[in-house]
Structure 1
Amino acid sequence: MDVGVRMKQQTLALAAGFERFGRQTRRSEFLSQMDVVVPWSELVALIEPHYPKAGNGRPPVGLERMLRIYFLQQWFNLSDPAVEDALYDSLTMRSFVGIDLGREPAPDETTVCKFRHLLERHGLGRKMLAVVNGHLERHGLKIGTGTIVDATILHAPSSTRNKQEQRDPEMHQVKKGNQWYFGMKAHVGVDADTKLIHSAEATAANVADNRVLADLLHGEETEVWGDQAYQGKTEVIVARAPQAVDRTHRQYRTKLVCYPAIREENRVKSKTRSRVEHVFALIKLKFGFAKVRYRGLEKNRNRLLSLCALTNLLTARHHLMAVAGQSCA
C-alpha cells in the first residue's frame, strides 16, 4: 500500500476519542472551570420568562444550551457564524454545550443571532451582572466600600465601505494624546479590594470620562479612586456617596511648573487605582473585546455588561472552585 494512503487512514483510537497521547488543553481546562463557577440555574431563571415556549411549531432549543453558546461567543470573541463553525470543529466546545452530533445538529447562526437579540431587547446583560454579583456575595465575595472608576476606548470600524456607505452614527471619534480613535467607551466601577466590577456603562468615545462618574458608584463608598480625568468632581462623588473621600489623581504639572508633592501623591494612589487595568486586560486581551462587533451602542452595551459578569466569574474562579470543592467533600 502506498505510504500516502496509509497516512490518511484513521486509527481506532482517534475514531473513538481514546488517543494515546491526549491531554487536557487550556481551553478544556478553562471550560471545565467555568462549568463549575457559572450560576447556571440562576441565569436560566432570569432569562426563562422571556424565552419562547414550546407550541405548535418547532420546539425551541434548550435555554441553558443557548446560554452556554452565548457565553462561548463572549469568552472566545466569536461571531454568530463563527460559533456555529466552532461547535462543529471543536469536541471540547460541543461537550461544554452538550451537543452530540450523532443525534442532533448544532444550532445554526440564525438561532444564535435570535437568542442574542432577545438578550439585547430585554436588557438582560445588566441583570446578568447583578445576578452574578449576588451569587458572588452569597459565596463570600462582597463588594466593599472602595471603588475605582475608569474608562477605556473600544474601537469601531471607521470605513464607509458598507451598505449604508457611512460609519456607525452612534460611534464617535476622540483625540487621545496625538492619536485619533473612533468607537465607544466602556466605563466601569471596580471594587478596590476584590477587583470585581459592580457598575458599567457604554457611551460614544467622545463622551468625557467624568460625565458618567455618578453612574459608576453604588453609593456606599468611603473612598473613590480615579485618574486625572475625574479630578474636580468631588461634589459629584459626595452627592452620590456622601461618606466617600475623593482620592482621584490631581494635575501635578503645567507648562511652567511641576509639583513633586502632588506627583508623589498620585504615585501612591496609583498602587490602588492601577488594579482597574487588570480588569481591562481581561476584557480586551483575554476575551478579545478591544473592537466592537455590532453596530449601535445598545448591542455593544449588552455585550459589555454580560462580559463584565463573566469577567467577575473569572476573577473569582479560584475562590468559587474552592467553595465548590468544600461543598462536595
Structure 2
Amino acid sequence: MDNQLSFFDLTDRYSQLSKKGDPLERLDEVIDWKEFDDILAYVKKKGREARECHSNAGRKSFGSRTMLKVLVLKHLYNLSFEQVEYQLKDRLSFMRFVGVGLNGTVPDENTVRNYFEQYKETGAWDKLIRTFDKILEKAGYKAQEGSIVDASIVEAPRQRNTPEENRTIKEGNIPEEWEKVPNKLRQKDTDARWVQKRGQNYFGYKLHTLVDVKHKFVRKAMVTDASVHDSNVYGKLTKGDKNDVKRVHADSGYLNSKDALPQTYEEVVCEKGYRNHPLTDEQKRNNRKKSHIRARVEHVYGFIFGSMGLFIRTIGMARAKATIMGSVFVYNISRFATLVKGPKRPREKCAQPA
C-alpha cells in the first residue's frame, strides 16, 4: 500500500522524534537495564513456580527487560492494562522504548496484568528501588545535605458502604452480606480507609517518603492506608538512612511522634506562633529558610501525582502498594535521566531476554 511506512520512512520518523526530545529515548539511554537482571530473574522464577509450569511449549515469552520497560510505561503514564496494549501498538515512541518494530508482537493486556501480579507477589518494586539506590551511589548521587520526610494521600475509587459496613471493616471483619455475594466482595476494597484533611474527605492509601535534600531522590518509601498518621512511620522511614547529614526536615505533624527519630538526628521543623506569643522576626526568617528546603519534596510529589497522575485503580493493599512503589521507582529513574550528564549509553537495538 502507498501509505505504508518503509524502513527509511520509519528511520526518518524516529529521527524526528529524537530531534523533538523524546523523553523515553533519553531514559533508555541513561538507564542500564542489565543492572536489574538478578531481580528480574527472581521474578521470572517465582512466576513460573506459581504457575507450576515448566514447559517451553507455546509462544515465546517476552524478555524480562522488555516487560520491565512495559511496566515503566504503565506507571509513567498511569495507564490501564488495556491502554498499555493499545499505546504499545499505536505510539512509535513506546515501540522504540521497549524494542519492538511495526511488525513485532507487543504484550497484550493479560500479559501486562500477569507481570504486574508477579511484581506484586515478589515485592519486586521494593527490590528495584533499593538496587537503583546503590546504582545512584556508585554514580556519585549519594544522599546529601539532609533528608525530608513527608506523606501524601493516594486516592482510590470511593466505596459506597453503609456506616454499619464501615464499622465492621474497621474492626477487621467482612460484612456478612458481602460474604454471601462473592462477586460483590471482589469489588470492595476493605484495606483502604477514609481520612479527613483540611476539611476534605479522602479515601485510599498513603505514600510516606524519605527524600534527600540535594538530589531529590526518594531514598525510602512506605505505603499504609490513608488513616495512618504520618508520625507513626517517622522512625521507620529514617532507619538506615545513609545521608551524610543526619538532619531531617519535617512538618509539625511529626513532632512528639511515638515512632521517634534516633537521638543522633537533628530535627528541623517550622516554629508556630501562639496567642499572645507571636513569632519574632528572626523566627519568621528561620521558618522561611526551613520552608524553602521542605518545598523540594513538593517537586517530587508534583511529578508523581501531577505528571504521572498516580491514582489507584486496583483493589486491596497488595496491588495498591505495587502501583505506588512502581511509581516511586519510575520517578527515581526519571529524575536520574534529568540529572545525569556526560556521554549517553548506547541503546540496545532490541530488547533482550533476561
What is the TM-score with the length of structure 1 in the denominator?
A: 0.84
**Number of matched pairs:** 313
CA distance in 2, matches of 1:13, 1:111: 29
Aligned pairs (5 A) from 1:146-161:
146-160=146-160
Matching of residue 215 in structure 1 with residue 232 in structure 2: no
User: Relative contact order (C-alpha < 8 Å, sep 6+): which is higher?
Assistant: 2
What is the identity, as a one-letter code, of the residue corresponding to 2:89?
Y
Shift of 1:182: 1.1
Q: Does 1:285 align with 2:306?
A: yes
Contact 1:230–1:249 (Cα < 8 Å) also in 2: no
Per the alignment, residue 171 of structure 1 pairs with 192
Counterpart residue identity of residue 310, structure 1: V
Q: Does 1:109 align with 2:130?
A: no
Structure 1: gaps spanning 5 or more residues:
1-7
Distance 1:246-1:57 versus aligned 2 partners, 3 A rule: same
Distance in 2, matches of 1:169 and 1:20, equals: 48
Offset, 1:283: 0.6
1:231 aligns with 2:272: no
What's the C-alpha RMSD, in Å, of the aligned pairs?
Answer: 3.0
CA distance in 1, matches of 2:322, 2:30: 21
Does structure 2 conserve the Cα–Cα contact (< 8 Å) formed by 1:231 and 1:249?
Answer: no
Contact 2:233 2:259 survives alignment (8 Å):
no
Greater shift, 297-306 or 171-180, is seen at 297-306
Q: 1:227 corresponds to which letter in structure 2? A: D
Are the structure 2 counterparts of residues 201 and 166 from structure 1 closer, same or farther at C-alpha, using a change threshold of 3 Å? same
Alignment of 1:57-136 (within 5 A): 57-58=57-58, 59-102=60-103, 104-136=104-136
Check 1:205–1:118 CA distance in 2 against 1; reply closer, same or farther (3 A cut): same
Aligned partners of 2:20, 2:79: CA distance in 1, in Å?
A: 14
1:306 aligned to which of 315, 326, 332 = 326
SS in 1 for 2:16: coil
After TM superposition, the structure 1 stretch with the greater mean CA deviation from structure 2, 198-207 or 219-228, is 219-228
Identity %: 27
CA apart distance, 1:100: 2.7
C-alpha change, 1:160 and 1:196, in structure 2 (3 Å) is same
106 and 28 in structure 1: CA distance in 2 versus 1, 3 angstrom threshold: farther
Structure 1 stretch displaced more, 220-229 or 128-137: 220-229
1:29-68 matches, cutoff 5 A:
29-52=22-45, 55-58=55-58, 59-68=60-69
Q: Deviations over 1:49-87 (max 9, x none)?
A: 230567332242211111111111111111111100111
Which stretches in structure 2 are left out of the alignment for 5+ residues? 49-53, 162-182, 347-354
Q: Does structure 1 retain, via aligned residues, the 8 Å contact 2:78–2:308?
A: yes
8 Å CA contact retained: 2:188, 2:315: no
Equivalent residue for 1:200? 221
CA deviation after TM superposition for structure 1 residue 304, in Å: 2.0
CA distance in structure 2 between the partners assigned to 1:40 and 1:296 by the alignment? 30
Q: Secondary structure at the match of 1:174?
A: strand
TM-score, structure 2 as length reference? 0.79
